[in-house]
Structures are given as structure tokens and as C-alpha cells.
Structure 1
Amino acid sequence: MAMLSFSFYLFQPFEQIEEAFRKAASCGARELFTSLHLLKGKELGEQEKLEWIGRLARHYGVGVVADATPAVLSYLPTGVGVARALNEWGMVGLRLDDGFSWDETVQLSKQMKVVLNASTITESEIQELTSRQIDWAGVEAWHNFYPRPETGLSGDTLMKQNRMLRQCGIASIGTFVPGNAQKRGPLYKGLPTLEDHREADPVYAYIESIKTYKVEKVFVGDLSVSDDVLRRMEWVRQEIIPIRYRPIVSARWLSLIETVHTNRRDAARDVIRSVESRCTLAWPQEALHSIDPAPRPIGSVTIDNERYGRYAGELQITLTDLPADDKVNVIGRVIKEDVPLLQHIHGGRPFCLIRC
């Protein structure tokens, strides 16, 4: 499973920065992202805060990769190597923004982790770095995030760039998704790589980033996500896709369906079919009684009733709009935000239903 991590910024209060470290550690992440050029490098003047961040990094076992320009590095103490100076503050790598020369990039790669700009780098530039003997062992490529609406990348562009990076031997690609709790200013419009993710649920954006675009690292660019997102991310870390639904029937046995299911390996075109619903769930008789038939728009949660004979008790989620059927009881609807997740529940893939 690709790494999920978070971001912090030096303008945040101490307690918010520590919370980012705590969340990263709880998710098993080894890195956090920060930017050192929001104030054109003046953040490096906050010695006390930087030293405290270094202690946090050592305590939680989570390093920091910082976005930086050459101007930012000019604020570093003189007479001390870049890597040594940054390491004191818990910074294990630099994501190089515009302005670094070829030789500066190569030199830095021999001292610490270097992260290239995956959104803008070209194949010829990678070849130039290779010819200058960059140390590729510690080099990764992470995409930009885009604070202004309408400026994020398209899916096609992301796919094309990632394909080129793979062909050039880049082993680790990172991307950004928005938060859903506290957004970062000054626009407060999310910090995604993909424009399609700007208003998306962070769990969906994370899953699409790793399943469709095959990245190794996903960072929440904004200041925070909700506790609900963190809980659902824990399911994802276990390779289980969490699906939130709202019941439309009132019954005590509904709790039976709020468990882990597996889509059949011979996945159907029109519906997700729970293997467990007919094998291991002990339905009370009342759950299989037929109710008034209802249309089954995409995202309908259904149970085949007793009229379906040997199929009785099969739980399904519709992948397309289907008509009412008196042999099928509609018991709930997947919430709108989670309908896009259904496309990722392939044959043999576990999922869980969460009532909301």
C-alpha cells in the first residue's frame, strides 16, 4: 500500500505541527512535507521552532522533506553543509523548486534525498542529470499541488508524466490530495495535484492516486483531515475499501451488513456481489421477506429476498441504474461522495459498509 502522509507549515502553532507528526507516525509514514519558501526562506530564521521540529522528527521517527529554492538555502548557517544543517531540524530531503542548476542538483543528490518536480521535469532534463552522474539512489519525483482553482493537472497529464518518469527509472513518485478539515490559505480551496480532486473526499482521492495513477506516496497538502477520514484511511491501509451508506429501511438486523465483504472474483458488470452474504451471514427470516420494490439507481444497497430462491440473502451494490425488481429489496443507498469508489471494488476486492 502506498504511503499516506501529511503536510505542515512553519506558520502553524506548535501543537498543530506536532499533530501532523503524530498522524504521520500513526499511519506508518516516514516523511512529512513542508515548504520553506512561503516566506522566501525567512522561516529558517526561526531557530527555536526549527530545533523543536528536529526533536519531534527524532521522537516520532518521521523525517521532513522541504520544498526549497536556492534563495532559501542562502539562509542556512555558513560553514555547515546543507545536509548537516537541515538534518538538525529533522529535514531529511529537499524538493527542488525552480532555480537550481544541474550541478547544484547533482551535488545535493550526493548529500541527501533529492525530490524532483514530477509535474514539470522532462525526459531530456532527466538525461542531462544522468550524464552529470546524479546519484539516482536517493532521488524521487513528487508532483506540484495547485492552490488556485482551475489550475490543477488533468488525469491524462498526470498519467503521461508518470509513464515518462517510470521509463526513465524513477522508482518513487508522489502526489498531493486536499484535506477536508482545515484548508491552507490564502485561498482555502484545497491543495491537490489533480483538478478533479479539488472538491473530492480525501479517501477517494488517495485511492484513485494509488490505484489509477500508481503513485508510491500521497500527501495531504492542506493543514488537516477529519477524524472520520483517518478512520476510513485505516480501512484502506488494510486493503479494504470503506463505503458509507444510508439505510432506507429500519431494522435491527442492518448491523449484520456493516462488516467486511468481498466482491466475487467473477465480478459482475452491473453489481458488486458479496461473497459472504450467502455463505457466512446468518440472516433472520424477516430480512428475507419481500418489501415494496423500488428502483435501483447506481449505489443502491440491496438484498435478494425469498422470492429469488437460492439467491435469497445475496447482498449487492449496483454499479449502474437498474429497474425495480420484486425479488430484490432495496435497503440503503451509498452516499454520493462514495459512489466513485465503487469502480475500485474489482473482483476479489474486500470492502466494508459503514452507516452514516
Structure 2
Amino acid sequence: MKKLGISIYPEHSTVEKDKEYIALAHKHGFKKIFTCLLSVEGDKEKIMREFKETISYANELNMEVMIDIAPRVFGKLGISYNDLSFFAELGAYGIRLDMGFTGNEEAIMTHNPYDLKIEIPMSNANKYLDNIISYRPKKENLEGSHNFYPHRYAGLSYAHFLKCCEQFKKHNIRTTSFINSHSATFGPWPVTEGLCTLEMHRELPITTQAKHLFATGLIDDIVIANAYASEEELKALSMVNSQMITFQIELHSTITDLEKKIVLEELHFYRGDVSEYLVRSTQSRVKYKQEEFKPTYTPDIKRGDILIENELYGQYKGELQIALKDMHNSGKTNVVGRIAEDEIILLDYLQSWDKFQFTIE
């Protein structure tokens, strides 16, 4: 099961505001909460009391709280890697290690009696995970999550991201990546140029970021890294289909009622005999064989255009297609709409027999 999550930063907010945000996320089906315990400066007792209150509230809503913690904080709090009772008493679902130990300690932590999840960083593409695996961890308690980057241009390249994810998927380890809200105003640090894992996501709509991560097939859970996302963003994310690519589109004014019905109401699938020029969804030409498909808007075709063959194409009339390449239009193809420019990248992830749908705002 794929999960969505939010992030809270108690050092930069209040218990009341965090609870309000948690309730809002819960309303829209979010399951995960990422939070930080990277610093225990100041009134330690007050910090921990408020931290516990917030986590307790999240647990009442059956949300899973993952606490980010650095090894140096273990020392400050007097915690040992072989006794994680402190985090169990806080009510945490698990702990994320901001920095690693040697491998054996992480493996030992996965065998904790509370079954706390141990989440390790997965953005470095080194032998860290293989090292932990060699120490025989309890794998169902081991998870991975990428880092996030507030500095513009410092986020991961896509090629490096793939390399990192594939290391974790090789061992069937659950994975998390972070996306960026455009309504949020803060994260754990003063720099606020967005907060995402992949640099290519920094300016993309929040739903496109999530669709892209799910489309890779390499990410299980997605967490909004900065706070606080708007309710509009939370609601939109909750409607993202993690199992099927759904393209955000614009329809042309020339589209007929029947063509609009085909585009928006039919479940489409990518025909198995793949063309390098077109994604073909052929059932509409069978279902609506007796209907008229007059020529309407027939300009030359661009990658990302949504097409329906008109009656000049004989037996192909009524077939829906998505253009993968620019093509000359002979006048036999109605261009009925276009995929949103930000989402054309999702075409790269459609495979033969994949199901897909379209939505408009």
C-alpha cells in the first residue's frame, strides 16, 4: 500500500498549529508524519513534553510518526542504539537516522522489541545498505528514505536518484521520497528555496511531483517535506492514483461531446504492439463503431497531443491516441486536447498494456 505523508517541525511552530495541520492531513487520508529531533537545545523537558503530546495526537488518528535523529542526539539524550525504549515511549512509529553508524548498530536496532521501523538515508548510492544487510537485520523493520534539499540546484539528479532507488528495491526495502509544497513557508533550516528530493521537481506542481515518483515504480511513500501545505494541495494529492498514470489535460474547444466522453470517461490501455510514434487505446473505435466522427481540428501533431481518428481514417475512426513524437497530420486525425506541459514527462513511463486516464481541472 502506498502512503502519503506530511512533515512537522516543532522547533519552528507550536503544538496547536501542528495538531491542526495533522488533523487536516488525516482528513484527506494521509498516513505518515516526518518530524525532526536533530536538536535538543534549550529546555529539554519542555521540548520532549510537547513532542510527546504531538505524537500522541497523531497516534490517536492512526498516523505513523517517523522521527529524524542524528547519532549525536543519542548521546545528548543518553540513548543507546541497543535500547530504543525512549522512542517507543514517545509513541514513534520509527526513527530515521540522519547519519549512519557502522552497519552492525543499524542491524541491531531493527531487532528492537517494539518493532520500531529503522529508516536509513538512501541518497548516497554507496555500499551502506549492503553493509547493513550483511549484519542480518530484521528486514521488515528496515526502510529507506531520500534526503530533501532546500538549496536550489542542490537536489538529486534523476540518474542518481534511480541508482539509489534500485539498490533498495534489490533488497525489497520500502522507500520514501520527499516532494515540495508551493504554499509551505518553512522547513528545518532557514533556507527556504523549496524542499524536495529531486531537483527537477522544485518548480513542478505538487501533484505532478507525486505522479512522477509513483510512475517510476521505485517509491512506496511520498512525504511533503515543507510545512504547511495548503488544504487544496493535500486534497489534490489525496486524489492522485498511485497505481495508474492519470494525465492532467486541456481540451480544445473543437472537441465533440462524444470525443469528450471517450477522453474523460473511458478507461484506456496502451495497446501491446507498441509504436514509437503513438500510444494507442483502441477500444473506443470498437465501442463507438457506429457513431460519426467528422473531421474537426486537424493541425500538425505535437508530442503530448491527444488524438481521435476521424471517419476519413476508415476502420480506425474513434480510436484514441497520444502523440509520442511530432507528426504531419493528413487531416484524418482530430487533435482534441493536450497533456499539461509539466506532465508530458509521464509519457516516458507508460508501458504496453498499462491502463491510464485523463482529468481536467
Q: Structure 2 length as normaliser, TM-score?
A: 0.81
* CA positional deviation for 1:34: 1.2
- Match for residue 308 of structure 1? 313
- In the alignment, structure 1 residue 248 sits paired with structure 2 residue 252: yes
One-letter identity of the residue aligned with 1:180: H
Cα distance in 2 between the residues matched to 1:57 and 1:4:
14
* CA positional deviation for 1:321: 1.0
**SS class of match (1:340):** helix
8 Å contact from structure 2 (residues 207, 240) kept in 1: no
Counterparts in 2 of 1:305 and 1:255: CA distance versus 1, 3 Å: closer
Could you report, residue by residue, the CA deviation over 1:222-250 in whole angstroms, capped at 9, with x for unpaired residues? 2226636744653413x232212222224
**SS class of match (1:49):** helix
- Match for residue 96 of structure 1? 97
Could you report, residue by residue, the CA deviation over 1:293-320 in whole angstroms, capped at 9, with x for unpaired residues? 2121111122211211211112222111
Cα distance in 1 between the residues matched to 2:45 and 2:214:
33
Question: For 1:42-81, what aligned pairs fall within 5 Å after superposition?
Answer: 45-73=46-74, 76=77
Pick the aligned partner of 2:119 from 95, 103, 115: 115
Pick the aligned partner of 1:352 from 354, 357, 360: 357
Cα distance in 2 between the residues matched to 1:258 and 1:38:
50
- Match for residue 215 of structure 1? 219
Question: For 1:63-212, what aligned pairs fall within 5 Å after superposition?
Answer: 63-73=64-74, 76=77, 83-98=84-99, 100=101, 105-106=106-107, 108-111=109-112, 112-120=116-124, 122-123=126-127, 126-127=130-131, 130-131=134-135, 134-167=137-170, 169=171, 171-185=173-187, 186-212=190-216
One-letter identity of the residue aligned with 2:148: F
Q: Which runs of 5 or more residues in structure 2 are unaligned?
A: none
One-letter identity of the residue aligned with 1:318: A
Question: Which has the higher mean CA deviation after the structures are superposed, 38-47 or 2-11?
Answer: 38-47
**SS class of match (2:119):** strand
Report the RMSD for the aligned CA atoms in angstroms. Answer: 3.4
Cα distance in 2 between the residues matched to 1:328 and 1:42:
69
Counterparts in 2 of 1:6 and 1:53: CA distance versus 1, 3 Å: same
Sequence identity (%): 22
Question: Which has the higher mean CA deviation after the structures are superposed, 122-131 or 321-330?
Answer: 122-131
**SS class of match (1:322):** coil
Cα distance in 2 between the residues matched to 1:125 and 1:274:
41
Could you report, residue by residue, the CA deviation over 1:101-160 in whole angstroms, capped at 9, with x for unpaired residues? 6665455433332112212373267436744x6544422221211111121222222232
8 Å contact from structure 1 (residues 261, 275) kept in 2: no
Q: Structure 1 length as normaliser, TM-score?
A: 0.82
Counterparts in 2 of 1:291 and 1:137: CA distance versus 1, 3 Å: closer
Question: Which has the higher mean CA deviation after the structures are superposed, 65-74 or 299-308?
Answer: 65-74
Counterparts in 2 of 1:316 and 1:324: CA distance versus 1, 3 Å: same
8 Å contact from structure 1 (residues 262, 348) kept in 2: no
Counterparts in 2 of 1:311 and 1:302: CA distance versus 1, 3 Å: same
One-letter identity of the residue aligned with 1:263: F
Aligned length: 349
Could you report, residue by residue, the CA deviation over 1:238-270 in whole angstroms, capped at 9, with x for unpaired residues? x23221222222456154122243233323321
- Match for residue 344 of structure 2? 339
- In the alignment, structure 1 residue 328 sits paired with structure 2 residue 338: no
- Match for residue 5 of structure 1? 5
8 Å contact from structure 2 (residues 206, 237) kept in 1: no
**SS class of match (2:159):** helix
Counterparts in 2 of 1:318 and 1:230: CA distance versus 1, 3 Å: farther
- Match for residue 277 of structure 1? 284
Could you report, residue by residue, the CA deviation over 1:12-36 in whole angstroms, capped at 9, with x for unpaired residues? 453454434553574463x321122
Question: Which has the higher mean CA deviation after the structures are superposed, 65-74 or 332-341?
Answer: 65-74
* CA positional deviation for 1:213: 6.0
8 Å contact from structure 1 (residues 66, 91) kept in 2: yes
Cα distance in 1 between the residues matched to 2:140 and 2:360:
45
